[in-house]
Amino acid sequence: MKPRFTIAVIHRNGLDKLTIVLNSILKVASPNDEIAVVDNNSDDNSIQIIERNKLYKNVRFIKNTCNAGYGYSCNQAMRQSQGKYFLLCNNDIELPENCLNHFESLFESDPAAGLIGPQMYSPKGVKMRSYGTQTPGLMSQLDLVGRPIKNKTLHAFSPVSILRGACLAVKREMVEDIGMYDEDFYFYHEETEWCVRINRSERWRVMFAPEIQISHVGGGSTNSVFAASRIEFFRSRIIFWQKIFSGWQLGILYLWNIPKLLLDWAFYLAATILTIGLNQRLKKKLIDRSMVIAWLLLGKPNNWGLPNKCN
> Is pLDDT above 80 for 203?
yes
The per-residue pLDDT for range 224-255, each reduced to its tens digit, is 678 889 999 999 999 999 999 999 999 999 99
Read off the pLDDT of residues 59-103 as tens digits, 9 standing for 90 and up: 999 999 999 999 999 999 999 999 999 999 999 999 999 999 999
pLDDT tens string 248-285: 999 999 999 999 999 999 999 999 999 998 999 999 99
- Give the integer Cα–Cα distance in Å for 238 and 79: 27
Let me know whether 181 and 267 are in one domain: no
Q: Assess whether pLDDT exceeds 90 at residue 295.
A: yes
The domain of 151 spans 5-216
- pTM exceeding 0.75: yes
pLDDT score for 220: 56
Are residues 144 and 87 part of one domain?
yes
Q: Is residue 307 situated within a structural domain?
A: no
Is residue 117 located within the same domain as residue 178?
Answer: yes
- At 67 the pLDDT is 94
Average of per-residue pLDDT values in the chain: 93
- Asked whether residue 212 falls in the same domain as residue 239, the answer is no
Considering the domain boundaries, does residue 255 fall inside one? yes
Percent of the chain at pLDDT exceeding 90: 83
Residue range 36-51: mean pLDDT, rounded? 95
Residue 60 has what pLDDT? 95
The reply to whether 279 and 197 lie within a common domain is no
- What's the mean pLDDT in 43-49? 94
Question: pLDDT per residue over 126-151, tens digit each?
Answer: 999 999 998 888 888 887 655 556 67
Q: What distance in Å separates the CA atoms of residue 51 and residue 222, rounded to the nearest whole number?
A: 25
What pLDDT is attached to residue 306?
A: 87
Model confidence at 12: pLDDT above 90: yes
Same domain, 238 and 101: no
The count of structural domains within the chain is 2
Average pLDDT value for residue range 280-306 = 93
Residue % of the chain over a pLDDT of 70: 96
Tell me whether residue 126 is in a domain. yes
